[in-house]
Amino acid sequence: MALAGLENTTGTKIYVALGEPATYTAAALATLGGFEQVIGVVTFGEWGDQETDVSEPLLAEGRVIHTTGTADGGTVAISIQTRDTDAGSDIIKAAGGTNEAVTIMKVYASGDGEVATGVFMSARFRDASGNSVRGYSTSAMLNTGVTELSAADVTTALA
């Protein structure tokens, strides 16, 4: 079937925990303890390393040679609604602008996931308009690569 393996991102959940694991294995992630779901997530931007293009022309060949340089996880834009009870959002707000490491786990409806660690910028509160919901935007600045997790690994990490 042409659509085999296609997974919609509706139903994706975002979890956060303070600190950085020793490794990105399920067992090491579980030692962080305290992964909390960010209930009010509206959007979660793309993430993953992007390497710098290191290039230098060879004079004799008239050809530029490219190599991959320093990897950068970049920044992930996240938009969050304000909810009365949202422990994950509370972690993000408290860590925002402090350089405190936060581990972020994105879990798809299938149970598979991705995880990385970074620091959060301070919250920027949404504008007020006729058709908007109270909330804020922030960015996670990644300091690690993104590691893919199986559904079994996610279950272990969140236990």
pLDDT of residue 152: 97
Helix (H) / strand (E) element for 103: namely strand 102-107
What confidence tier does 3 reach under pLDDT thresholds 50, 70, 90? confident
- CA pair distance 146, 159, nearest whole angstrom: 21
pLDDT of residue 106: 98
pLDDT of residue 1: 64
Asked whether the predicted pLDDT for residue 33 surpasses 90, the reply is no
Percent of the chain with pLDDT over 90: 89
Asked whether the predicted pLDDT for residue 59 surpasses 70, the reply is yes
The answer for residues whose C-beta is within 8 angstroms of residue 6's C-beta and 6 or more apart is none
- CA pair distance 43, 134, nearest whole angstrom: 14
Write the CA distances from 20 to 16, 68, 108, 118, 147, integer angstroms.
11, 26, 21, 8, 13
Query: How much is the pTM?
Result: 0.91
Q: Is 59 exposed, middle or buried (0-12, 13-18, 19+ CB in 10 A)?
A: exposed
Write the CA distances from 2 to 6, 22, 93, integer angstroms.
9, 40, 42
pLDDT of residue 2: 77
Q: Are 134 and 107 in contact (CB under 8 A)?
A: no
